[in-house]
Each structure stands twice: as C-alpha cells, then as structure tokens.
Structure 1
Amino acid sequence: MRKLLLAFLLSSQVAFGQSLTKPEKGIVQSVQKQMPETMAFLEKVVNINSGTLNIEGVRTVGKLMGDELQKLGFKTEWITLPDSMNRAGHLVATRQGKKGKKLFLIGHLDTVFEKSLPMEPFTRLNDSTASGQGVNDMKGGDVLVIAALKALQTQGLLDDTSITVYFTGDEESSGGPESRRDFIKRAKQCDVALAFETAQGLRTVTTGRRGASSWTLNVKARSGHSSGVFSSLGYGAIYEATRILNEFRRTLSQEQYLTFNPGLIVGGAEVRYDDKTAKAETVGKTNIVAGATLVKGDLRFLGEAQKENARARMREIVDKSLPQTKATITFADGIPSMEPSAANDDLRKLVSKVSEDMGLGPVAAGDPGSRGAGDVSFVAAYLPCLDGLGASGKGAHSIEETMNLKEYPLLIQRTAVLIYRLTR
C-alpha cells in the first residue's frame, strides 16, 4: 500500500503547473491527500456486483455513492422506475447556487457483468494497473466525480455552486425512453453536461460519439423437400438472409462512422425467439428447404441523417427478394448520437487549457467512431457536452477490464480544476 501511495504522489507531482492559481493548487493537493480514501472507496464499489438486472446491487452502489455526495452538501434522491421495466432506477444529487455555470455531471451505476457471471474483484495487478468489473466502465468515472467534488469541498470551493450529479442505473441496458425522461428534463435546466465514461488517456476527450439503434430481419420462404431448392421452391429463407446480409456488407460497410452488426441469426423450418431472454430456437433438417430465418443486429451512426439514410438503403436491399422468398426489416431507436459541435469543442478547449496549465499538454478531440453510444447523447441536442472524462483503462465489458492507476489522480485533478473554473 505504501509503495502504491508513493507511485500516486510521484505521478501527481507534474500537476503543479506554473499557470495554476493558488486555489487550484490547493485543489490538486487535496486530491493527492485523499487518494488513499478514493482508492479504498473504488475498491469497495467495484466489489459489489451491479449488473443492470441486479437491481439490489445497483441500488446498493447507488446508496454508497449517494451517502458520499450527501457528505459534500448535496441533496440526494432516488428516481424509481415502473416495475415493468425491471430496472433499479437512478441516483440524483443536487446543490443550488448562483456562481458560474450550472453543471450536469453524468455517470452510471450499472455494469455489463450480471450476477450470473463469475465475479472479478478489484485487484491491483501492479503499481500502474488495477482490474475488476466496471473498474473503468464506469465505477472509476463515478468515483472520480465524487473525488473531484470532495477536493473542491475541502477547499471551500463548492459553496454557492449549481451542480447536478446524475448516475443512471441502466446505461448498459436501458429500460426504454421513459427511463431517460427525468434525466433529459434535468439536463435542460443546466448549462453544460460533462460525462465520465472511460477516458482514452490524458490527451483526448470526446466531443462526438455515435448513436445506437437495432434492427430485426425476418425472412419467410416456401418450404419443402430440398430437391426443390433453386427451382420450384425458390431459394429458401437462409439463402435470402445471406444475400441481404452480404449486400449490406458490400454496399454500406465502407461508410465512415456507420456500422451494422448482425448479432444473432437463426434459420430452419421453424424459428422462435424470446425477447426477454434473447434466446432463439429452431427446428430443421438438411433435406428441408428453410422456411424461416431471423436476424437481429445493431446499427451505429453519427447523426440522424446518416441513420435514416442507412435505414432507407437497407430497406431497398431487403425488398429485392429472391424467388419464393419474402423479407421484412424493422428498426427500433435506442440511444441517439452526439454530433461534434462548435460548443462541444469550446468545452474541449477549456479542458485543454486546464491540462496545459497543469503541465500535462494539450487535449484533442477523439475520433467519434472509436466510441459506442452513451447517456450523454440523450442530452447532446440541448446543451454543450463532453464525454470521455472518466478513468482511463482498457478492456471494458470484458474480464480483462483494467484501469490506469498512474493517470487516475491526474484525471481527478483535471476534472476538479475544470469544475472550479466553470463554476466561478
């Protein structure tokens, strides 16, 4: 532990850039002094399973984080959702004041690791790397927010500020549009949104990220003895689904920022699919022409125009059915995209100035195509936004998920100074 603390202190010394003001240097010092407490809290919450469908686990993590925010003078509340959604709800913490910008700070309490999966506890692999479920996506980001606010509170710099902290409970598997109604309403009352999904190092932030929607392809065909394939029975449902998917790939796969992944395909004489369990069943034989094929996939895009154009072209491909087949495709909206904007880039410039004043160098805008969809996109149309401000690391959504321990204190310091400048 002493060795790890020494590594934190050494890595943080660079933060005392010549251009930081006296209050900002005080903020940096507070972050450094509080790192042992910060890491102990991170370990505690990582070791609580909070897969989206583990409602008790999500609420337990939310209670712990809410308690920390209450200590900092925030009023906390739990936003409940209808039982039919099977989602835990959201943590909201607010404080009202008259100084500076009204900030909307975004995180999420859930992870992709459901309770049925083997537990991967928080583990310090070495002085620079820790692993664990959700350690960077995004419990590391949530704890970063709390640590930054704690440093500001220690220096008496949260007084008279207006900050809303909104940690959703179902970012990894949303309960639907109703689940984000309160989220959007509160964001509209603020001036700036900062989201703390995984950082891609110290030198980039996210000014744009793609949206995500889903599609379902259903193919029906004449079924019968396999000797009739290519002639009296036509081509069957599997060949037609193959044609469609290959044409999607051939004609659309090179468009920048656009991807469409068929995540499930099942075909045979009969097909059944359960939306609640995401499980499919089929019955078929090699000597029977397939009468049904089902394909389910996602569509990722940057901007509504790209999404709608892709959907139109996909429909055109689907409509050109092979003989004796009939295919239909349906689309469902999920998370909108966050398009890069001048206002978002102005925020990026503020982060870059903080970084340079800390002696860490400039910060550039990351590639929108390198990010998946995120909660910030629900509010990107209403106020300037940034994302990718959380813990840095690798392997999100996998058993190899890690966090960069050396960059973590610097990212907390950067966020704390940024919040200070925005709320003056």
Structure 2
Amino acid sequence: MGSAAAQSLTSEEERIVAIVKGNSPKALELLEKTVNINSGTMNHKGVREVGKVFRAEFDKLGFKTQWIDMPKEMQRAGHLVATREGKQGKRVLMIGHLDTVFEADSPMAKWERQGDRASGQGVNDMKGGDVIIIEALRALKAAGALDNTTISVIFTGDEENAGDPKEISRRDMVDLAKRSDVALAFEATVLDENGKATGTIGRRSSTSWDLAVKGKQGHSSGIFTASAGYGAVYETARILDAFRQQLQEPNLTFNPGMILGGTEVTHSGPSKGTAFGKSNVIANSAIVKGDLRFLTPEQGEQARARMRTIVAQSLPGTSAEITFQDGYPPMAPTAGNLKLLEIYSKASADAGLGPIAALPPGLRGAGDVQFVAPYVDSLDGLGATGKGAHAPGEDLDVRSIEQGAIRTALLLYRLTR
C-alpha cells in the first residue's frame, strides 16, 4: 500500500488491513476445504457439510448460529444463519450461498492451485465470496472492531435452484433484511472491459411466462379462409414477432425458450414436451415457455400489460392466453444503493485497490439479494473474481480473496462506526 493510500486510512483501518493480509494463507486453506466438498443444490448432505465448516468459523467469531431446515416436501437442505447484536452504527446483513451447480454425480473438480489462479467447484461462485465474508469479520474481530455491532449473515443452501414456494425458502432472509439497514451480497465481482472491479447496484428480475394458443384443426388447403382461420402456429408466430417489434427497450428482455405446436401437444415438465402434426393438417394448438426480465416493478407491469394486449389481438379462427409466474423480483438501482457503492468505492480506493464503478444491471443474472432489495439499501458483487462460473473449468484469481476481504472489512468498519 502506497503512502497516499496509507494517509487515507486511520491507524485502526491500517491494522485491519494488516490482519487480513496476515490471514491470507489460512483463508485459502478454508476455501480449499470447502471447494473439495461437493455441495450441488440437490446434494443436501454436501450442502450441510459445507454449512458445518462455515458455522464453526462463525462460532469462533462469537456469532449466534443456527441451521434452518426447509420443509421436507421442498427438497432443499436449508440455510445457515449467524447473528450478533449491538447498538453501534448501521445494522448489516451479509448474504452468501453454500450450494453450487455441480451435483453429486458431476465429475468432481478438486481444488487445484497454479500460481495466482485456482480452480474447483464453486471456487468463485460462491465459496470464494463466503470466505471473503469470514475473513473480513475475522479481521474486525482481531482488531476489536466487532464489539457492539449488529451483523447478520445468511448462507442459503439453494441459491442456484431456489426452493418453491419462495415465500418460504426466502422468508428468513427477508425477515433479517427487515431488521437491517443495509444488505451486502457476495456473488462474484465482475470486472469491466479494463479489468477493474465493479459493484452491482441493480439486477433484473427473473420471471417466466406461458403462452397457450388454440386454432381450428382442418385440411391445410383451407388455411387463411374464413372458415378455417390461420391455425395455432401462425397465431403463435404473430404474437412472438409482435413482442420482438413492440417491446424492445433498455433492460427488458423476453425470451421464448421452448415452443411446441401441432395437433397433439404435451408438456411433460419444465423443459420437456412432445408435439405431433402433419404438413397437410392445420395445427390446433401450440405452447410457448418464456423468460421475462426487467429492472423495476413498473417496467415489469408495463411489459406484462403490453404482452397481454398483443396476445388478445387474435388472428381469425384462433385464441390465445398468456400467464405469468413470479420468480426473482428486480433490484432497482436506487439512490440508497448508489450511496452504498460510493462508500465501498472510497474504502477500496483508500486501501490502494482502486475505485469501484457500477456494473450495468443487464450484465448480471438473478441472485438472492433481489429478495431483500425492496426492503433495504443493497449492494452485490462483492465476492471473488474468476472465470468460467457454472462450468467444469471454474476458476479464481487467488488475489481477489485478500482484496475482497480488505474492501469488505473497511466497508463494515465504516458502516458500523
């Protein structure tokens, strides 16, 4: 750390940074231990095992810890919650997750270190982020800066495939948010085109829609006539193309991911189905499964209304219905979120790690922080930096663990003074 950066930190903050650096080897040992435990969402035993490892760390830090089971019918492992209460500064909620996309039958990619890079299952998404949380808190504890603070941590066991109903699987997280002033989430830090770290002040929703279309079955020679109409497939094509032409705007996407059409259509699962039809027969039915993403609740309501209007303008001899299913709510880029990013950016710059710019919301998928964003100022993307998340070659920039822990520790210190 250069002299200019050193002048930007108090002596107490310099001590916190030094503690983080001194603990870096142990931080990587902790990360290696958890990466080598398979914790795919549906591998409940593995998720709980990783939870036990992190729970022991929170216990050492003086947090009150508990494992919250989900109802058996939800088929999810549950969540780890750690809390401490005080009366000083902001009340902070920190969010991570224990599960990965790599299930128990996936080829097990163990931790492998090569210089400044390391690979393994969940190494950056997001066991690296979990370790950053632990190391930031460990440094504050060693510096005596955790005393009298209110900090809650939740590590969910099903972020990669959230259990339904989400009113239950995210209930405990929302309850913690309602008792907090700010929320910090530790999904991987995204680098901009210049290789600089960013922060996430907005994330788009992840919702879905179903389109069901009906037509008159008949001989193909009669299509487009008043008696036969246009058939279900043409009506489906009209609707989808009208979406494309009329709905496009910044931060709004609407993707038809699966389409089935013909005279016999069967939808047999979330991503499966069959269709039968003949080229000389007008199709009588079609279904489409789609995804809808938007940045604010208002944008979402407007998009749904426009989609319903388009669907209602049926071609002759056809009818259609569209229904919507809520998933992850949007995290709107509020003034409060931006202020939180400014504090984080200054802490990073003061530590000699450079300022942090906001990431465009359209560049992130959905995440747990979106369930708490309606209730509290929120900031995401504070985790590790790596490549290939959700892929067999998922890796990590090892240096980002120490850097993330320094930024987080300073942010926590300033929020809780």
Q: CA deviation at 1:374?
A: 1.6
SS in 1 for 2:331: coil
Q: Which segment drifts farther, 278-287 or 23-32?
A: 278-287
Correspondences of 1:145-294 after superposition (within 5 Å): 145-175=133-163, 176-201=166-191, 202-231=196-225, 232-253=227-248, 255-275=249-269, 278-294=271-287
| CA drift at 1:127 | 2.3
Letter in 2 for 1:209: R
| Matching residue's letter, 2:206 | A
CA contact 2:294–2:330 (8 Å) conserved in 1: yes
CA distance in 1, matches of 2:30, 2:222: 66
Identity across matched positions, percent = 56
Residue in structure 2 matched with residue 9 of structure 1 by the alignment: none
Distance 1:154 1:15 in 2: 25
Partner SS, residue 7 of structure 2? coil
CA drift of 1:104 comes to 0.4
Q: Are residues 220 and 189 of structure 1, via their aligned partners in 2, closer, same or farther at CA, if it must alter by over 3 Å?
A: same
Pairwise CA distance, 1:15: 11
Structure 1 Cα separation of the partners of residues 235 and 104 of structure 2: 39
**Counterpart Cα distance in 1 of 2:413 and 2:370:** 24
Aligned to 2:397: 404
Residue 314 of structure 1 is matched in structure 2 by: 307
Measure the CA separation in 2 of the matches of 1:41 and 1:393: 17
C-alpha displacement at 1:300, in angstroms?
A: 0.7
Q: Secondary structure at the match of 1:393?
A: coil
| Whole-angstrom distance in 1 between the partners of 2:212 and 2:90 | 49
Between the two proteins, the alignment pairs up a number of residues equal to 410
Match of 2:12 in 1: 23
**Letter of the structure 1 residue corresponding to residue 224 of structure 2:** F
Distance 1:13 1:40 in 2: 28
One-letter amino acid of the counterpart of residue 179, structure 1: S
In structure 2, runs of 5+ residues without a counterpart are none
Please report how far the alpha carbon of residue 22 of structure 1 lies from its aligned counterpart in structure 2 after TM superposition.
2.0
With 92-101 and 129-138 compared, the bigger mean Cα shift is at 129-138
Partner of 2:72: 83
Aligned residue in 1 for 2:334: 341
**In the alignment, residue 233 of structure 2 is paired with which amino acid?**
I
State the SS of the aligned residue for 1:282. Answer: strand
Runs of 4+ in 1 over 4 A off after TM superposition: 12-16
Q: 1:312 to 1:15 in 2, by over 3 A?
A: farther
- How far apart are 1:203 and its partner, in Å? 3.5
> Letter of the aligned partner of 1:136 in structure 2?
N
Structure 1 residue 64, shift from structure 2 partner: 1.5
Task: Say which SS state the counterpart of residue 374 (structure 2) adopts.
Answer: coil
Q: Is the 2:16–2:140 contact (alpha carbons within 8 Å) kept by the matching residues of 1? A: yes
Partner of 2:122: 134
Counterpart AA for 2:152: T
Q: Could you tell which deviates more after superposition, 230-239 or 159-168?
A: 230-239
Contact 2:78/2:157, CA 8 A, preserved across alignment: yes
Letter matched to residue 199 of structure 1:
T
TM-score for the superposition, normalised by structure 1: 0.90
Q: In structure 2, do the counterparts of structure 1 residues 290 and 78 end up closer, same or farther at CA, with 3 Å as the change threshold?
A: same
Q: Match of 2:15, SS?
A: helix
Instruction: Classify 1:423/1:139 alpha carbon distance in 2 versus 1 (closer, same or farther; 3 Å).
Output: same
Question: How many angstroms apart in 1 are the aligned matches of 2:223 and 2:32?
Answer: 60
Cα pair 1:14 1:359 within 8 Å, conserved:
no
Structure 1: gaps of 5 or more residues: 1-11
TM-fit CA distance, 1:106: 0.8
Q: Which residues of 2 match residues 110-121 of structure 1 at below 5 A? A: 110-121=99-110
Give the structure 2 partner of residue 51 of structure 1: 40
5 Å-filtered alignment, 1:370-409, equals 370-409=363-402
Whole-Å Cα distance in 2 between the matches of residues 123 and 283 of structure 1?
Answer: 49
Contact 1:15 1:410 (C-alpha < 8 Å) held by counterparts? no
Amino acid across the alignment from 2:210: T
CA RMSD, Structure 1 to Structure 2 (Å)? 2.1
Q: TM-score, normalised by structure 2?
A: 0.92
Preserved CA contact (<8 Å) 2:208 2:325: yes
Separation of aligned partners in 2, 1:228 and 1:400: 55
